[in-house]
Chains A and B, each alone.
Chain A
Amino acid sequence: MATYDEIYGKRVEVLSSDPTLSSANEGQVWYNSTTGTLKTVVSTGAWISGANLGTAREQNAGGGTQDAAFTCGGTPPGSPASALTEEYNGSGWAVGGALGTGRRLHGAAGTQTAGLAFAGLISTGTYTTTSEEYDGSSWTGGGTMNTERRDVNGFGIQTAGVAVGGRTPPNASTGATEEYNGSAWSSSPGSLNTAREDLGAAGILTAGLAFGGANDLDATEEYDGSTWTTVNNMNTGRKNLTGSGTQTAALAASGTTDGTLSPSVGIASEEYDGTDWTNTTSMTTARFNASGLQGTGTSNAGLVAGGYTTTAVGTTEEYNKSVNTITAAAWASGGNLNTARYSLGGFGTATAGVAMCGRDSPIYQATEEYDGSSWTTVNNYPQTVVDLGSTGVLTAGLGLGGLDPPSIPSFPTTGRVTGEYDGTNWTTGGSYTYDAWGTGCAGTQTATVASGGHNYPMPPGNISSSAEYDGSSWTAGNSMSQARALFASSGSQTAAVVTGGRSSPGVEDPTNKTEEYDGTNWTSGGNYLISVKENTQGGGPQTAAYMAGGSAPPYTTVAGHYDGTAWATAASLPTVKGLGNAASNTADNTTGLVFGGAGPSTTNTTFDFTAETTAINAKTLTTS
């Protein structure tokens, strides 16, 4: 038989530089003659922080994949069974359709767009046999189960789902298994060999897996669509754990042995390869009664959402095992403004930004330009104002209206001034349609849509009006449904998005309402994550917008990404910030720049946003 040497001439390839790497290189070894190192690509696993749930809860259940997951029901601290559904896109959680029946200690399976929830408790001591189907936006009634139970688990998909185990009233563990065909539940002839509740599960109808649970904490069984077979035990026995993956590549994580938090058991994580369980890297925060990815998740991309420590929590952890090194999206500190200020204007991009006006004490006219690392003071804005609207790019920017608080009588004059910037000088353009400050602007210098604002002093109150600018004059347009001032506005004149702000006339309450503009009409968009005002820190196009900070009140670090339909949580700001401004004309929400503002003290800080990146890293082999 030919040897490896005879076929390839040498055992290890010698290269002057590392090859272009892909996942196909996993396990390959080469010698880098330039660095004198032996290198390889290996996969490693790690639990990392995911976005926090909007609502902390335990006893919730979910399905889907790590970047398209859902969790539903459960119980927030001190609350009854919840109907709330949240959807995860890998970056943030957004509110989905509510369950028809709030439930806890139930089972779930399927995907984010074809999910299944079943059984559980609808109130303390009251079981349900109902099931519900999710289509990605709303839940509808499904078939009725044959066995009422709580502490149940499930796997599979909406049209081929499985419910297994649980506790039946008044207090008995069951091994009963039921199958769902998309319309009706039927009892499987197979029952778990060890009846149990609070178990973990993974897989599909014809190749399922049940593991752990009370009262045989480490027992594992495989399902073939009709029969359960006992296989090798888990390494860490536990109940109230989460599962994901398949029968031959499953992931178990979190859990408890006795119903209370165990720092060692609650972080335990192990993988099943179809034969044996192997311990893998631990989670960071111990918990139990969390939600996993039953049915369609993988052992290489797990998710644990919410759960219980000594109270219900909203934290999420993601498990990633790959040859890639993933760098999570984050805000980093950029160069500071030369002049700290809030209620300022701003526009441009993350590497070519402009800030102007604003206040601390006194009111400023100063303009500064950002090159991606530092701010430089340039020519002054035409007037001394705060809370002006703004949009455009560095070489063609626009400022609108604003207020000079010490000179209120002059407001009707300052409120209509349009400032135009060419990258060097400011000039005044056409007079605005309204007397306004705190407007939102979107688009370019020659195709702007301005909306909302405050027409103080007479008549007082926030307005819903809008107008379009063509580079020389303003024309009144249709009104928004929501009066607002000091809000986020971005996009273009034919595809703009606004959200948040000080809302109803004369009222300073924050709002979560989002509206979209199509060049003619305003229509409602997906609500923002929280009700927020003074959130003048956003940008990007209508289908990939970002918004960060504002005041709930108090000032917040919450940030969100908008996809044209719904807002999802994004990496939070490092510190609270409101009444700042942002690079509004970034190409999408993979970059971002917010600067100035208050939190509550006036600040000159700048935060740069960098999206998540992945890269394959070659490891150097050493002896030790």
Chain B
Amino acid sequence: MAHFIYGVATNTGKGFFTAEDRRAFFLRGYPADVWMVGNNVAGAMWMAEKNGVEKTKAEAQALIDAEVQANQATYDALSDEEKAMHDRPGDVTLP
């Protein structure tokens, strides 16, 4: 069995994940509203309750890549002076 569930859900703010959630299952957020959730009952229930759309790891990674690439393109279009304010957004790889 896979260790994690991947999905897309919009962080609605307060109450989106609680202390009980954090203690009940593993949870990590990534760009493109991608969430990596421990593959247990509590994690799966959380994803469902948040109207999360489950993805395969490859699909989730593709969504992250698309968002990062869009942000990289935005960065590349900045002036040299603005680029000096920030490093170019780096690639993000799901563990």
Please tell me if the beta carbons of A263 and B28 are within 8 angstroms of each other in the complex.
yes
CB-nearest residue of chain A to B15 = A328
Q: Which residues of B contact A267 (CB under 8 A)?
A: 28
Report how far A78 CA is from B73 CA in the complex, Å. 12
Count A-B pairs with CB separation below 8 Å.
111
Please tell me if the beta carbons of A325 and B20 are within 8 angstroms of each other in the complex.
yes
CB-nearest residue of chain B to A570 = B14
Please tell me if the beta carbons of B22 and A124 are within 8 angstroms of each other in the complex.
no
Question: Taking the nearest CB of chain B, how far is it from the CB of A575, in angstroms?
Answer: 7
Report how far A267 CA is from B22 CA in the complex, Å. 13
Interface presence of A279 (CB below 8 A): no
Interface presence of A168 (CB below 8 A): no
Please tell me if the beta carbons of B22 and A47 are within 8 angstroms of each other in the complex.
yes
Report how far A285 CA is from B29 CA in the complex, Å. 5
Given A49-B16, A263-B28, decide whether A284 and B22 contact each other with a Cβ distance below 8 A.
yes
CB-nearest residue of chain B to A44 = B23
Q: Which residues of B contact A574 (CB under 8 A)?
A: 51
What 0/1 readout, one digit per residue, does chain A (5-24) give for beta carbons within 8 Å of chain B?
Answer: 00000000000000000000
CB-nearest residue of chain A to B77 = A78
Please tell me if the beta carbons of A310 and B90 are within 8 angstroms of each other in the complex.
yes
Please tell me if the beta carbons of A569 and B89 are within 8 angstroms of each other in the complex.
no
Identify the interface centre among A121, A125, A285, A574: most chain B CB within 10 Å of its CB: A285
Please tell me if the beta carbons of A281 and B22 are within 8 angstroms of each other in the complex.
yes
Report how far A261 CA is from B11 CA in the complex, Å. 19
Interface presence of A378 (CB below 8 A): no
Please tell me if the beta carbons of A49 and B87 are within 8 angstroms of each other in the complex.
no
Interface presence of A604 (CB below 8 A): no
Question: Taking the nearest CB of chain B, how far is it from the CB of A603, in angstroms?
Answer: 14
Q: Which residues between 31 and 66 of chain A lie within 8 Å of chain B, taking CB atoms? A: 44, 46-52
Report how far A260 CA is from B68 CA in the complex, Å. 12
Q: Which residues of B contact A124 (CB under 8 A)?
A: 79, 81-82, 84-85
Please tell me if the beta carbons of A311 and B18 are within 8 angstroms of each other in the complex.
no
Please tell me if the beta carbons of A260 and B87 are within 8 angstroms of each other in the complex.
yes
What 0/1 readout, one digit per residue, does chain B (32-76) give for beta carbons within 8 Å of chain A?
Answer: 000000000000000000010000000000000001100110100
Q: Which residues of B contact A557 (CB under 8 A)?
A: 12
Identify the interface centre among A78, A572, A574: most chain B CB within 10 Å of its CB: A572
Q: Which residues between 50 and 87 of chain A lie within 8 Å of chain B, taking CB atoms? A: 50-52, 77-78
Report how far A396 CA is from B86 CA in the complex, Å. 62
26 sampled A-B residue pairs with Cβ under 8 A? A46-B22, A48-B19, A48-B22, A49-B18, A50-B14, A52-B12, A52-B13, A92-B13, A124-B81, A260-B88, A263-B28, A263-B92, A281-B22, A284-B27, A284-B29, A309-B92, A311-B31, A311-B67, A311-B71, A326-B19, A328-B15, A329-B15, A330-B15, A571-B12, A572-B12, A572-B13
- Please list the residues of chain B having a beta carbon within 8 angstroms of any beta carbon in chain A: 11-23, 27-31, 51, 67-68, 71-72, 74, 79, 81-82, 84-90, 92, 95
Known: A124-B79, A125-B84, A315-B13. 18 other contacts (CB 8 A): A44-B19, A124-B81, A124-B82, A124-B85, A259-B86, A261-B92, A284-B22, A284-B28, A284-B29, A286-B28, A310-B90, A311-B67, A320-B19, A327-B18, A327-B20, A571-B12, A572-B12, A574-B51
